[in-house]
Structure 1
Amino acid sequence: MEWSIQELSTAAGTTSRTLRYYGERGLVMPSRLGSNGMRFYDESALGTLLRIRILRDYGVGLEAIEEVLRRDVDTVSALKEHAASMRHHRRELSRRIASLERTINKMEGGEQLMADEVFDEFDHTQHREEVEQRWGKQAYADSDRWWRSLSDEEKQGFQHEQKAIATAFGEVAASGADPSSEQAQAVVARHVQWLSGPTTVTPGYLKGLGEMYVADPRFGANYPGYAEFVRDAMSVYADRL
């Protein structure tokens, strides 16, 4: 089955001009040209366009998307990864909405708020199993104890820094810089400083964490389209520790 450029742009909620631009960049290529020069697209182009739309919704720039699409990953496997990541986000969003609604109801009802309930949407225990399997129960217990010792303000600051670091990684990856570049290594250093609060960062720990960012879509969701860049940058940094 195939679609004309107008049909595909309408179905995808984009424009013919955007599809032509994607073609110029080698992202979404027409399967054939009609006698009048009309562009037609097949299912392969449809799948690629879907991947682009998903990554764009994650805030990934075109340069980073080009890098993602250059990888030797078939479209079906890639879409399965995206689906797994989106299911994780859906579960997280549902949990956060429920937590916020409980807080709102208590505030409207004049009930006393408990800090643990208010910050339940930021569940630091959600990756307990992975941490214990990779680094042992003591490692999780130590980090859990550290987290519970923080004030509400410190917890918010810690979470804000994590998001800022993820954004910084994305910006460096989109710039085309190498994982070993000064810019990338500066972000890793910031990441290591952030990690040093709850744990002791060793070369093995850093490399293992980087691999987890790529292998587990729940972690990779924090670095959409550039988790491999983050892993490689962390590996370079670990080799220099």
Structure 2
Amino acid sequence: MALIRNTLQQQIREGLLQPGMRLPSERELSERFATTRITLKEALAALEAEGEIYREERRGWFVSTPRLIYDPRYKSHFHALVETQQRKVETRVLNAGPVVATPALCRQMSLPALSGLLQINRLRQLDGRHVLYVEHFLLPSRFPDLLRHDLGQSLTRLYAEQYGIRYGRAHFDIVSTAARGAVARALCLADGAPVLLITRINYDEQGALIDCDREYWRHDAVVIRIDSQPPAELAE
């Protein structure tokens, strides 16, 4: 196992296997290293744990790209955050429409039972890789005719330009969880694979509730970095 791990790691670090490159199939690799699939899988799992490679369900293994450095307090829109790190991002709207708030959402957003919300589900790609699945839950009373707008754009900008709503404070919960159903499919993960979940309850500058965001990150694609000195856009 050590030989396989060290060989692949060396080729990655020397640039022969470049970020985003797909590795040969497990069958091909096991033949090249004259080893069993079990031993090969152990070596690949070790490299995955170290962030050197990642797996996409039914597609195979790939060389990891650098992790995105992410401060969840960042108020500027996500595309601006990514572009400051010289990366490419795409946002795709998966679905949007009215829903009834679950008991968990009612508790998190301090809403009465059976409250109506607008839900927007979006998928974000970083340098062509599916890394982030987001569920947005909004108060319909604050965003009339929201579904008529382009929901693939920055919601931060849309809130400000169309509704005069700007973020104030926010409450965060950051936990590890398992990808299930739509989340696993969107992120090309096996059902039950680990993901990082950031739940954010957003309030406006007057302290009134805006929305709840649930961000499901591929854990190997992001670094959560919070500085005790807030960046300039948070201090404004």
Q: Same fold (TM over 0.5)?
A: no
More strand, by proportion: 2
The TM-score normalised by the length of structure 2 is 0.33
Higher Rg? 1
More helix by share: 1
